[in-house]
Amino acid sequence: MSSQREVRCRCGRWMWAPPGAGAIQCSTCHTVTQLHSLVDALRGAHRVIYGLQQLRRQYQQQQQPPQMMMAQRSPPQMMVAQRSPPQMMVQLPPPQMMMAQLSPPPPPRLLEALPSPFGKKRAVLCGVNYRGKSYSLKGCISDAKSMRCFLVQHMGFPVESILMLTEDEACPQKIPTKRNMRKAMRWLVEGNKARDSLFFHYSGHGAQQKDYDGDEIDGQDEALIPLDHETEGKIIDDEINEILVRPLVHGAKLHAVIDACNSGTVLDLPFVCRMERNGSYDWEYQGLGRIYKGTDGGGAFCFSACDDDEASGYTPVFTGKNAGAMTYSFINAVKTAGPAPTYGQLLNLMCSAILEAQSRLTYTDSDESSEPLLTSSEKFNIYATKFAL
């Protein structure tokens, strides 16, 4: 084991890399980590040290007094000390400054293309159609665009505080890759404070995979599927909870709408609202293990398209074109519920709309029907608590 190297994946899992390996794939999140040779690193360090020594030697030479240059033997009055004008001397910085200049600049904390993260209302909207793939979807990018219009026109979100990640974006940093989605989620909650209203929307594929840390009752982690998941892996619920949920401070609120399969507890929130068809409900605690899944005092709420073991879908019944059933029913419920609706009212309206749409589809299979699910960081009275973005 002494010849093996211990490597830590971006998801936090430690792995043993065999000697001579150029890359290793994480068994948890499937991220591929490139390994750099120790010999290459030592050679690079040697080159840097040699360069610093050369610069230091030049600097010391410049600090020595210039030699007096005299003309050929001449009368004393013709002898002139030749000295370079002070303004012509090349001044080199001290060695510590030269080292700082040679050091690479620190990486940017956020995507350069992102707007300022400081605002009372901001949102991240992800729509992934997986164009050109055998598992491509229809309508996910349209879902993200519809959600942006809704937030701007009806909920008062500034358009410059909404970050869109879709395959239609011209900026490479706004393509819904795993790296970009992670950074966008961090941007959303950075510096959050009391009375901030944060919103996260995802329309695309969802999935499940084996739980390796023992915090899932069903033994399965839920995950979002970025565009480059085949090489970079999924974004599992443990990481989503760590990025989006746990940093929320007292008074800040996060609402998420997840239009994907297997999305019930994809934010890993500890409480699930189990609602019956007659409107009665009960809170089910999802906590398992010693890892805290709540916030830092704030509130987190998630409307998901279906339970963890169910499939969601899109339907042309609502708009005449392919649209995510969850996205459309959420927007329509908030618009039609009247002023200051409760969470219970919205949930009932969404369930009714989706059940009605499913009944109108000729290919509807009752065994495959799914209903929206509400999860939360805390238990609360869904018929007394007002919904507000």
Active site residue 273: no
Contact 186, 243 (CB under 8 A): yes
- Terminal alpha carbon distance of the chain: 54
Contact 90, 133 (CB under 8 A): no
Q: Could you tell me which residues come within 8 angstroms of residue 180 by beta carbon, excluding any fewer than 6 positions away?
A: 111, 165, 173, 174, 226
52/38 Cα distance (integer angstroms): 21
DSSP 245: I
Among 9, 11, 140, 205, the active-site one is: 205
CA distances from 123 to 144, 154, 155, 164, 218 (A): 11, 14, 11, 8, 31
Active site residue 149: no
237/234 Cα distance (integer angstroms): 10
Residue found under tokens 């010999």: 39
172/211 Cα distance (integer angstroms): 32
Among 261, 273, 306, 351, the active-site one is: 261
Residues annotated catalytic, as ranges: 205, 261
